[in-house]
Amino acid sequence: MVAESEDVSWQSTLQEFGRPLQEITFVVIDLETTGGAPHLGAGITEIGAVKVRTGEVLGEFKTFIDPEHPVPAYITDLTGITDEMVFQSPTIAEIFPSLLEFLGSHAETVLVAQNAPFDLSFLTYAARAHGFDWPKFPVLDTAIIARKVLSRDEVPNCKLGTLAQFFGTETTPNHRALDDARATVDVFHGLLERLGSHDIYTLEELNNFGKKVKKKQKSAE
């Protein structure tokens, strides 16, 4: 689910980044929340993140978050997360310093997420609300990359479950943060292999590749 966000400051241009994709530290992140938009009162209930470099997992981050309001029944039905599971968990304000430490410097880390605007809207909103500076990480969205490199004959849509099945991920997405982050890691690595077949090896090339795809689509219309 992608929610509209009032703040798009998390979006970093990739034009100035020419670093090889294989030499970058990526943090793949996923959130579970109590609703679709932080500015409408929804909060974070779970954070899962996986740090990877050259295909190797360097570390994982997992925590429940107390959203400080009840978890709606439909969210419990979707995720399995209950009030009892998040009760007495740290609040987002309490967990933010350790999360930022795990994420690392924006000069070294590139964030990866499936439908990134959704997750980043919650994180940047929480940062502003609690007085934290949100680093201007470069961000890659696996859903957007998939639309560029996979045809509709290969996948009918670019939902995480569809992409996970296509790439045969070790972990099945289940609307739990760490499992979804792990599945996204495998999807991302599969997409990187596809990008290699297009001679895309740096963030700069990936950005330019996206522009070329748009031009081809327009010319075909």
**Annotated catalytic residue 189:** no
Strands (E), 39-146: 44-53, 56-64, 109-113, 139-141
Dig out the tokens for 97 from the structure: 């310093």
| 92 burial level (CB within 10 Å; 0-12, 13-18, 19+) | buried
Residue 54 has, within 13 A of its CA and on its CB side, a CA count of 1
- Read off the amino acid at residue 186: D
Residue 100 CB neighbour total at 10 angstroms: 16
Identify the three-state secondary structure at position 66: coil
- Contact assessment for residue 2 and residue 118, using Cβ atoms and an 8 Å cutoff: yes
Among residues 39, 106, 175, 189, the one annotated as catalytic is 175
Active site residues: 175
